[in-house]
Amino acid sequence: MATWVNADTLSSWKKLMSLKGMVSVKDELSSENAVKRITEYSIPMAEGLTYNFAAKQVNEQILKTLQDLSDESELLQKFEELYNGAVVNTGEKRMVLHQLTRGQLGKDVIADGVNKRDFYINEQKKIAEFAEKVHSGKIVNEKGEKYTQVCQIGIGGSDLGPRAMYLALENWAKANGKFKMEAYFISNVDPDDGAAVVEKLDLAHTIFILVSKSGTTLETLTNESFVKDFIKKAGLEVSKHMIAVTSETSPLAHNPDYMQAFYMDDYIGGRFSSCSGVGGAVLSLAFGPEVFADFLDGAAQEDKTALEKNILKNPALMDALIGIYERNVQEYPSTAVLPYSQALSRFPAHLQQLDMESNGKSVNRNGEKINYVTGPVIFGEPGTNGQHSFYQLLHQGTNVVPLQFIAFSENQTGKDVVIEDSTSQTKLCANVTAQIIAFACGKSDSDPNKSFEGNRPSSLIYGKQLTPRTLGALLSHFENKVMFQGFVWNINSFDQEGVQLGKKLAKAVLSNNMEKPLEAYAKLLISSSK
């Protein structure tokens, strides 16, 4: 059994704390050894991707200390215990099995009287069979017509991940003859969100997917009722237009309002659920089950790279440990995720939840206060849009913000145009290259307003093209990065009590069972509509 202790009790942690400000990326990438550094500071990922950290503020001494921290923290042993079914989620006393939805890393995990890998495979098969029947016309609407659209109703992990994955693959699917159904998403309990989406839908030919593990999520059930009202007013049968993704014990299971239900369990956290039925139903309906299967396989292959004990061969572990160095030693409070791919437009939003909901903790796994900072603030936008927005602060602001670039040498559609002797894709790749060097090396100028200090650290994940398999690998990389960082900090990355308080208070407002400050704010806001 691995030993769980606070990071600041480890000798390697104390050694790491003494290595602040050792490396100037500006000096490293301006030196004659720059090409050697860029070549050597790269780690192959699955599906042809590469993680490059040459523009990070690390050297051999820091990397050795990070390896010592990994070993002393027993990170690989903790990962092994996790995927073999240990109760790693101490807050909710649950196993953590999201990797099992896409492959088998270790031994069989038996829970609730069943083999969980078999359970996840069977649910994936059920979804695949349902999607194929919808696409072939074996499952049709009231008038015997085929469905052409799908709309997911969910919030948090039931929306952010699946939405990001759908948008990431939409153009690829259209370009490769894999596009089956247009997908839409309703998440916000704000009725303007639901109304705007419903107005775009051909209700008679739409399947709604209601996603709620408990079957009691207030926002999701409210939006379900909102949508059902539209369905009924259109003279349609609710049961011909809704399916559910939920747990077997929820009120949504075995419910006549749904033509079919697909199941998940408590061992898959919402923000880690894109590889379960939460992402599987909408992606299989939108693109076909074989595309979803490729996505899962890409994630499974990347999971295997996270088993490597040597951090120089383990991209997620290296990314995690450098992030620890930046957060705890360099004291950088935030990280920007900058995909130079419009298809990944919502990927930073998904990573916000994945990272901040997982590692935004101030007590350890035993509920004891810790004396060091944990997860950074995550934000981001696709390049080149971000360059004309917040890059000003990143280049010349008072805070240093570590950067994570993602780029591909080819676009998804194959469509492009040559302008001024280069294609749009070439210009995109030129921009990400230029930004990495600009952030690292800066620029001196006699005019202080035009001077760039540089030494702004960044990493780059790059590959040939964003496909279902590379997207799966990319998702796995960041999930495992977050997991490893939580292990080092000795926090529970798999519960989210910070989400619950607001929900409880909202219910108190709705039931008029309020304390005075809450009552005052409720009257201030709600009465304004009268």
Find the catalytic residue in 14, 20, 503, 507. Answer: 503
> Is residue 39 reached through a cis peptide bond, with omega within 30 degrees of 0 on the bond before it?
no
Find the catalytic residue in 254, 388, 427, 523. Answer: 388
- Give me the half-sphere count of Cα atoms (radius 13 Å) on the Cβ side of residue 200: 13
List of residues 6+ apart from 409 with CB closer than 8 A:
425, 429, 462, 463, 464, 465
Q: Rounded CA gap, 118 and 100, in Å?
A: 10
The number of angstroms, rounded, from the C-alpha of 260 to the middle of its chain's C-alpha atoms is 27
Q: Judge whether 209 and 281 are in contact, CB under 8 Å.
A: yes
Active-site annotation holds for 135: no
Active-site annotation holds for 241: no
Q: Rounded CA gap, 140 and 488, in Å?
A: 51
Please report which residue ranges of 199-276 form alpha helices under DSSP H. Answer: 218-233
**Dihedrals φ, ψ of 379, to 5°?**
-150, 170
Q: Rounded CA gap, 268 and 420, in Å?
A: 50
Q: Rounded CA gap, 272 and 266, in Å?
A: 11
Q: Judge whether 382 and 339 are in contact, CB under 8 Å.
A: yes
Q: Rounded CA gap, 71 and 244, in Å?
A: 43
442-479 residues labelled b (16+ CB within 10 A) or e (exposed): beeeeeeeeebebbbbbbbbbbebbbbbbbbbbbbbbb
Of the candidates 307, 266, 269, 293, which has an alpha carbon nearest to the alpha carbon of residue 105? Answer: 307
Hunting for tokens 């010592």 — which residue is that? 68
Structure tokens at 510: 């709705």
CB atoms within 10 A of CB 58: 24
Find the catalytic residue in 357, 361, 477, 479. Answer: 357
User: Is the dihedral angle over the CA atoms 452, 453, 456, 460 positive or is it negative?
Assistant: positive
Q: Judge whether 253 and 244 are in contact, CB under 8 Å.
A: yes
Q: Rounded CA gap, 309 and 179, in Å?
A: 40
Active-site annotation holds for 503: yes
Tally of helices (H runs) and strands (E runs) in the chain: 19, 15
List of residues 6+ apart from 434 with CB closer than 8 A:
none
Active site residue ranges: 357, 388, 503
